[in-house]
Structure 1
Amino acid sequence: MEGSISEFGQYLGAGLACIGLAGAAMGVGNVAGNFLNGALRNPSAAAGQTATLFIGMAFAEALGIFAFLVALLLLFAV
């Protein structure tokens, strides 16, 4: 009975940390959508902005990876 409250806290914290994964997915979608919007408006400038697209996606995805790491640490760290 004594371990159930601590296990509940671990699972609750890991679940809350996974909200960051949803935020990262929305961030990557936002970056890609804005790039496509700009590329359709000015196709000649799209080739020069591809590196910026990948950097923005990497930063957004890194936050999701950090959130996933926090969730794993909450679940499996003793």
Structure 2
Amino acid sequence: GIYDYQIWRHGDLVVSRMRTRHGYDQASAVTGASAVQTRWTESMSHIFAEIADADGAPLWLEEVFRHRVPPAGEAS
């Protein structure tokens, strides 16, 4: 499932990031079957104008920069 989920907001712009262990499709199937997730999504719907394209695919952002320094002792 999802092990790290964050949401940021700046004015009208809302961006979220989630990390999954087995990919988006598997995490989406698990959360889609959850009544708790359904209630949360409905309660937050007023914040999100668009969450998918015309085909229903999530709106993905293109990564333009990443700087990651591995912790001491971790291979890069």
- TM-score, reference length from structure 2: 0.22
Q: Would you tell me which structure has more helix in proportion to its own residues?
A: 1
- TM-score, reference length from structure 1: 0.21
The structure having more radius of gyration, on CA atoms, is 1
The one of the two structures with greater contact order (alpha-carbon pairs below 8 A, sep at least 6) is 1
